[in-house]
Structure 1
Amino acid sequence: MNLLDMVKEAGIVGAGGAGFPTHVKLESKAEYILLNGAECEPLLRVDQQLMELFPDEIIKGFEAAGKFVGASKALIGIKGKHKKVVSILRDRIQELGLEGFVEVKELPDIYPVGDEQVLVHELTGRVVPEAGIPIQVGCIVVNSETALNMYYASIKEPVTQKYITVTGDIPKRLTVKVPVGTPIIDVLKLSGIENFDNYAVIDGGPMMGPVMSNLDGYVTKKSKGFVILKKDHHLVRKKSVSLEQARRVNRSSCEQCRMCTDMCPRYLLGHETQPHKMMNALNYNLTDIEGQKIAQLCCQCNLCELFSCPAGLYPKSANMYFKDKLAEQNIRYKPKKSEFKVRKSREYRLIPSKRLIARLGLYNFDKPAPMTEVDVNPEFIHISTRQHVGAPAVPIVCVGDYVELGQQIGKIPEGSLGATIHTSISGTIVEIEKDFIVIRRD
């Protein structure tokens, strides 16, 4: 069994939040393989700690993937401010005799340097085409936790655990490893808070993560962090605005200053995404379909809404409005060129993370969330069949079956993009729903 088969069998998906099946990436040949250890979302602390605690495993998993795709160079991207981790990685690379192949490259402390297209440019100087993916410029990108999972796959261990940062306006900030399928509320209570009536929870980072409508969900392979804030925090209020509310506010206040465009990370890479034009189209009910297509180039980093707009408006929401509208009509943007040059103004418009954190009102919460061993042993776990990009997994177990930790319980549908799923505890299958397989711990 080769690495691709082992990764596929282990059910590995992008652990940084996207959830794209990793085995599909390994089907391509690339000049570079890049490790995304930027973790540019404010307050999240998973990747930087994993690289410190498991450097050999991550390096070995990353090296194996790089060799498998035929890469000539494997570049680890990590922010230069993490000096201790950078030193550890470089020492271990040398000790493992991989310095000719694996290299650590330091990234600036900016947002969103973890966006894979920004990362590709920072590490290789190349620009991914509009509406494109890194392989188009000879690159494959994997997250640091994904590389760790690839190492475990090589020793026949599937993905059954997830590392998560719990942070925000809470008594105890920490990063933990919990079984996939754990009730989210069990993880949130590790913060020292029992009653969440006065709190809101952001699922993921404070920039791109949505405010959870309820706390009844379950940990998936894509879970990365939970940011807990008081309900009256301005970031919670801002992110809780509906699309219709955002449209009304935009129509009443946008003065077409174009700051949302001028500071857009993808625009600065040379792409034609221009949120100020979408604001204009929305405000005046413009019907030019061709002009609306650029909304599909938005990476949803949320910089325009949460930092760039001086009036506090909702340019990303305008992009999403047209993006959804075009998707309903099955209309796709087609790039007019294949090569892109970074705009000259880019070097003056990079957003420092510290400045962003202050603007978000999170300065007082920008503190360590140390890796902490905890016992989270829920009686029931819910393994989602839809915790990845692609088709949901097809259950291969029945109600009443006894399953052991790590056993495969769902397969990829024939001829589809997807990922296998495994049980994270030993126990009995008690329910198989449309979206979940429920297992009772024995």
Structure 2
Amino acid sequence: MDLQDIIKAAGIIGAGGAGFPTHAKLTSKAEYILLNGAECEPLLRVDQQLMEQFPDEIIRGLEAAGRTIEARKAIMGIKGKHQEVIARLRARIAALGLAGYMEVMELRDIYPAGDEQVLVHELTARIVPEVSIPLKVGCVVINSETALNIWQAMAGKPVTQTYITIAGDIPRRMTVKVPVGMAIREVIRQCGVENIDDYAVIDGGPMMGSLMNNVAGYVTKKSKGYVLLKKNHFLIRKKSVSVDQARVIGRTACEQCRMCTDLCPRYLLGHNMQPHKVMRALSYNLAGGQEQQIAQLCCECNACELFSCPVNLHPKAVNILYKQKLSEQGIKYQPTQLEFQPRSAREYRLIPSKRLVAKIGLTAFDKPAPMTQVEFRPETIHIALRQHIGAPAIPVVAIGEQVKAGQLIGDIPGNSLGAAVHASLDGTVIGNTEHSIVIKVGSYV
């Protein structure tokens, strides 16, 4: 099999974002293959530790992906504050004879440095056009764990585990390797919190992660972090506001100061994303205009809502509201230009990560979350059939069937965009629905 087939068979998806199937990313040729090691979400510590612990594997995985798309250069983007990791990677790149093909570039400690389009500009000085993808400017982007998974797939290992940071207002902050399908509650229990009911849990990073209504879910291949905070914390109260509440508050209180626009990362790249205009469309019931359609340019980084707005309104939520309405009407934003230049003020309006952490009340919790060895022994695991963008996997196992860790249990339907799923632990299939496969784990059978 060629690398694309190997990656497809291993069920590799983007490990740090929406979960786009990686084999589909590598079908086109590009000039650059970029490694996103920015990990710009506050408190999360997965990528930096993986690059320190598995430098050769990540380098080789990135190289293989780059060779597949015939990239002339591979660039690893890492924040300059991680000097030990940078030095280690540079030394290993040289030792592996890849200095002429691969380099490490230092990123500024800004938010959101890990946004795919911000990363492309910081590493190549190119700007991805509106409503487009990095491939449009000759780039393909994967993150550190995805590169590690590519190397593991080349060694015959499908994706059955993921790395997760548990952080926040907790006794023990840690980063752990977790079998896919583990109960989230069991993962969180490792952090030393005795009564989870005293806390609210954010699934993902503090900025873009969503507030969990309960912790009854299960780990997927794209799970990256759980942030636990007391229920009265500013961030929890902010994320608890419903879209309808955000709409009412925005209509009555927005003063059109345009701070949300002036600090918007996509606006600063030259895009037409102007959240204050979307807020204006809401306030004055403007219909059918450009003010509504530009909401589709929002990357939902949440900088407008959690950092920029001086009166704590909810421009991101309003953008999402209009995105949904426009989608229901079949209306798509149509760019009016193809070439973009960064705004002249961009260099003066970048958001420092430390300032962001302070603004959202996380300074006291911005501490290491060291890689910790934990042996999980679940009674059952629930493997979701849709952990990715695209069609859900189709079960290829039946109830009562015994399966081994790494065995294919759900395959891509036909020629659809999707990703295969595999058993993460040995056991017996006891549930098989359109949403997930439930496996009773080995010693409990």
Alpha-carbon distance in structure 2 between the residues aligned to 1:18 and 1:123? 22
Q: Secondary structure at the residue paired with 1:206? A: coil
* 1:340-396 Cα deviation digits (max 9, x unpaired): 111100000000000000001000000000000001111100000010000100000
Per mean C-alpha deviation after superposition, the further-off stretch among 72-81 and 334-343 is: 334-343
Find the counterpart in structure 1 of residue 210 from structure 2. 210
Measure how far apart 1:436 and its partner are. Answer: 0.7
Question: Aligned partner of 2:158: which letter?
Answer: P
Alpha-carbon distance in structure 2 between the residues aligned to 1:411 and 1:222? 18
Find the counterpart in structure 2 of residue 380 from structure 1. 380
Find the counterpart in structure 1 of residue 122 from structure 2. 122
Query: Pairwise mapping of residues 93-108 of structure 1 onto structure 2 (< 5 A)?
Result: 93-108=93-108
Measure how far apart 1:17 and its partner are. Answer: 2.4
Find the counterpart in structure 2 of residue 299 from structure 1. 299
Measure how far apart 1:248 and its partner are. Answer: 1.2
Find the counterpart in structure 2 of residue 175 from structure 1. 175
Query: Pairwise mapping of residues 272-283 of structure 1 onto structure 2 (< 5 A)?
Result: 272-283=272-283
Find the counterpart in structure 2 of residue 79 from structure 1. 79
Q: Secondary structure at the residue paired with 2:355? A: helix
Find the counterpart in structure 1 of residue 408 from structure 2. 408
Alpha-carbon distance in structure 2 between the residues aligned to 1:12 and 1:93? 24
Find the counterpart in structure 2 of residue 149 from structure 1. 149
Alpha-carbon distance in structure 2 between the residues aligned to 1:69 and 1:246? 44
* 1:231-276 Cα deviation digits (max 9, x unpaired): 0001000011001111111112111000000100000000001100
Measure how far apart 1:335 and its partner are. Answer: 1.0
Find the counterpart in structure 2 of residue 439 from structure 1. 439
Alignment of 1:430 with 2:430, yes or no, is yes
Alignment of 1:111 with 2:111, yes or no, is yes
Q: Secondary structure at the residue paired with 2:227? A: strand
Measure how far apart 1:317 and its partner are. Answer: 1.2
Alpha-carbon distance in structure 2 between the residues aligned to 1:334 and 1:213? 36
Question: Aligned partner of 2:157: which letter?
Answer: E
Measure how far apart 1:334 and its partner are. Answer: 1.4
Question: Aligned partner of 1:380: which letter?
Answer: T
Question: Aligned partner of 2:214: which letter?
Answer: N
* 1:127-150 Cα deviation digits (max 9, x unpaired): 000000000000000010000000
Measure how far apart 1:197 and its partner are. Answer: 1.2
Alpha-carbon distance in structure 1 between the residues aligned to 2:163 and 2:331? 38
Alpha-carbon distance in structure 2 between the residues aligned to 1:354 and 1:133? 29
Which ranges in structure 1 are unaligned for 5 or more consecutive residues?
none
Measure how far apart 1:337 and its partner are. Answer: 1.1
Alignment of 1:320 with 2:320, yes or no, is yes
Find the counterpart in structure 2 of residue 35 from structure 1. 35
Measure how far apart 1:194 and its partner are. Answer: 2.6
Find the counterpart in structure 1 of residue 15 from structure 2. 15
**Percent identity over the alignment?**
65
* 1:97-149 Cα deviation digits (max 9, x unpaired): 00000100000000001000000000000000000000000000001000000
Alpha-carbon distance in structure 1 between the residues aligned to 2:246 and 2:284? 15
Find the counterpart in structure 2 of residue 363 from structure 1. 363
Find the counterpart in structure 1 of residue 399 from structure 2. 399
Measure how far apart 1:290 and its partner are. Answer: 3.7
Measure how far apart 1:196 and its partner are. Answer: 1.1
Alpha-carbon distance in structure 1 between the residues aligned to 2:355 and 2:132? 30
Q: Secondary structure at the residue paired with 2:220? A: coil
Structure 1 segments, 4+ long, off by >4 Å, are none
Alpha-carbon distance in structure 2 between the residues aligned to 1:215 and 1:398? 28
Find the counterpart in structure 1 of residue 6 from structure 2. 6
Question: Aligned partner of 2:24: which letter?
Answer: V
Alpha-carbon distance in structure 2 between the residues aligned to 1:285 and 1:434? 41
Alpha-carbon distance in structure 1 between the residues aligned to 2:214 and 2:327? 27
Alpha-carbon distance in structure 2 between the residues aligned to 1:345 and 1:105? 23
Measure how far apart 1:291 and its partner are. Answer: 3.2
Question: Aligned partner of 1:371: which letter?
Answer: M
Alignment root-mean-square deviation, CA: 0.6
Question: Aligned partner of 1:378: which letter?
Answer: P
* 1:10-52 Cα deviation digits (max 9, x unpaired): 0000001220000001101000000000000000000000000
Q: Secondary structure at the residue paired with 1:296? A: helix
Query: Pairwise mapping of residues 212-231 of structure 1 onto structure 2 (< 5 A)?
Result: 212-231=212-231
Alpha-carbon distance in structure 2 between the residues aligned to 1:181 and 1:194? 23
Question: Aligned partner of 2:400: which letter?
Answer: G
Alpha-carbon distance in structure 2 between the residues aligned to 1:190 and 1:291? 46
Measure how far apart 1:284 and its partner are. Answer: 1.1
Measure how far apart 1:289 and its partner are. Answer: 3.7
Measure how far apart 1:292 and its partner are. Answer: 1.2
Question: Aligned partner of 1:150: which letter?
Answer: I
TM-score (norm 2): 0.99
* 1:268-306 Cα deviation digits (max 9, x unpaired): 000001100110111111113443111000000000000
Aligned residues: 442
